[in-house]
Structure 1
Amino acid sequence: MRALRARRDPPMPLNPPPKPHILCVDDEPQVLESLKLNLRRAHTVSTATGGAEALALLDQASDIAVIVSDMRMPGMNGAAFLAQARHKAPDAVRMLLTGQSDLDAAITAVNDGQVFRFLSKPCAPAQLLDAVAAAVTQHRLLTSERVLLQQTLHGSIQALTEMLAMVNPIAFGRSVRIRKLASELATRLQLGERWQLEVAAMLSQIGHVTLPAQVAEKAYYGLPLSADEDRLIQGLPALVEKLLAHIPRLETVLAILRNHPLGHDGVPDTRGLGAAEALVARQGAGVLRVAIDCDILESADNGTAFDAVLRTLRGRTGTYAPHVLDALEALRGTKATADIQKLALRELSVGMVFAEDVKTPGGVLLVARGYQITERVLDRIREFSPAGGSQVRWAVFRAGPGAD
Structure 2
Amino acid sequence: MSQSASVLIVDDEPNILRALRRLLRSETFRVLTTSSGEEALEILADEPVNVVVSDSKMPGMDGAELLSRVQASYPDCIRILLTGHHDLEAVTRAINEGHIYHYIAKPWHDDDLCFILRQAIAFNQSERERKRLEALTQAQNDELKRFNSELEARVDARTAELSEIANQLDSAHETLKHSYVTTTRVFSSLINMRLPERHQTNSQITQVIKGFLQVHPVEEGLRYDLLMAASLYNLGKLSWDDHLLGLSSEKMFGDDRERYQKYPETAGELLMALEPLHGAAKLIRHHQERWNGSGFPNHLKAEAIPWGARLLRLSVDFIELQRGLMLNRNVSRDNALMLLEKLAGRVYDPMLSRELVTFLHDHAPDMGIIDASVMALSTDKLEPGMILLRDLHSKAGHLLLNEGRELTAGLIDKLISFESTESIRYTLLVRLPDEEALIEDETET
Pick the structure with greater CA Rg.
Answer: 1
TM-score bucket of the superposed structures, by smaller chain: 0.3 to 0.5
Q: TM (normalized to structure 2)?
A: 0.43
Greater helix fraction, Structure 1 or Structure 2: 2
